[in-house]
Amino acid sequence: MSTRRGGRRPGKPDTREAILTAARTTFAERGFDAASIRAIATAAGVDPALVHHYFGTKEELFRATVAIPIDPAELLPGVLAGGPDEVGARLVRTFLTVWDSPVGTAAVALLRSAVNNEWTARLLREFLVTQVLRRVLDRLDLDPAETPLRGALVGAQMAGLAMMRYVIRLEPIASAAPETLVAAIGPTVQRYVTGPLDAA
């Protein structure tokens, strides 16, 4: 008589990839906030506990789906340190530090893929909004009604910098010293974060 139980899929070598595939689809379709570990587990055909076993928290699973080997939560305290007046410069400096490092190779690959693939674009958009921009702006004393626009403006500036420096490699931006770019772009990002948004 067999004692094998039916139901959830045991931990097999392909289980991790099945969870990642289900997570990519769920995050892209529902967004980070609406996606749940239970929904992802159901789509993958596994128990939710197995998702936690392989990936830990929802944030860690999300980072795995976009193949970003850094945790923004570890970097953002440095961006926010010292108050809001220089957050633009600190944000640009942190951005360049990450993208100029070996981790930047994965970020460039993700950016290239997002240009040509709508699913990747959705995942990257969710990552930027929920894991980076929201975590910065929500800790500043800003008008909540303006936060989405401010975040989008910062995202547009940083995405443009990434494209010009690391993908298109437009000179002299591509080879400029990081502090040169911090000095040039930081004030613009600062205005997006704390400056007036209405027309003069």
Q: Which residues span the domain enclosing 53?
A: 2-65
Does residue 159 lie in a domain region? Answer: yes
First to last CA, the chain: 81
CATH code assigned at 118: 1.10.357.10
Among 32, 65, 98, the domain boundary falls at 65
Give residue 50's identity as a one-letter amino acid code. L
Same domain, 30 and 80: no
pLDDT of residue 13: 62
* 145 in the same domain as 84: yes
- Residue 100 is predicted with a pLDDT of 94
What is the pLDDT of the chain when averaged over all its residues?
A: 87
State how far the alpha carbon of 73 is from the alpha carbons of 22, 82, 136, 143, in Å: 24, 17, 10, 23
> 77 and 61, same structural domain?
no
User: What b/e string do you get for 50-82 counting C-beta neighbours within 10 Å, with b at 16 or more?
Assistant: bbeebbeebeebbbbbbebeeebeebbeebeee
Least confident of 15-19, 81-85, 162-166: 81-85
Same domain for 53 and 92: no
Q: Indicate whether 49 and 81 sit together in one domain.
A: no
Which pTM was predicted? 0.76
Domain check: are 7 and 36 in the same one? yes
Residue 172: cis peptide before it, omega within 30 degrees of 0: yes
Q: Which residue has the tokens 């997006």?
A: 192
How long is the chain? 200
Domain termination site, one of 15, 41, 65: 65
Name the domain boundary from 20, 39, 65.
65
What pLDDT score does 150 carry? 96
pLDDT score, position 71: 83
Instruction: Please tell me whether residues 154 and 181 are part of one structural domain.
Output: yes
Looking at the structure, tell me whether residues 38 and 93 fall in a common domain: no
Q: Give yes or no for a contact between 101 and 70, defined as CB atoms under 8 angstroms apart.
A: no
Claim to verify: residue 84 and residue 161 sit in the same structural domain: yes
**Residue 88: pLDDT over 60:** yes
**Is residue 2's pLDDT more than 70?**
no
Q: How far is CA 190 from CA 78, 133, 194, in A?
A: 16, 13, 6
Q: Is 160 left (phi over 0), alpha (psi -120 to 50) or beta?
A: alpha
| pLDDT of res. 8 | 45
Say yes or no: 30 and 89 in one domain. no
127-146: per-residue pLDDT in tens?
A: 889 889 999 999 998 999 99
Query: Do residues 21 and 110 both lie within one domain?
Result: no
Mean pLDDT over 4-22 rounds to 69
User: Does residue 183 lie in a domain region?
Assistant: yes
pLDDT for position 199: 59
Total domains in the chain come to 2
CATH number at residue 8: 1.10.10.60
Q: Are residues 80 and 176 in the same domain?
A: yes
Would 199 be classed as within a structural domain? no
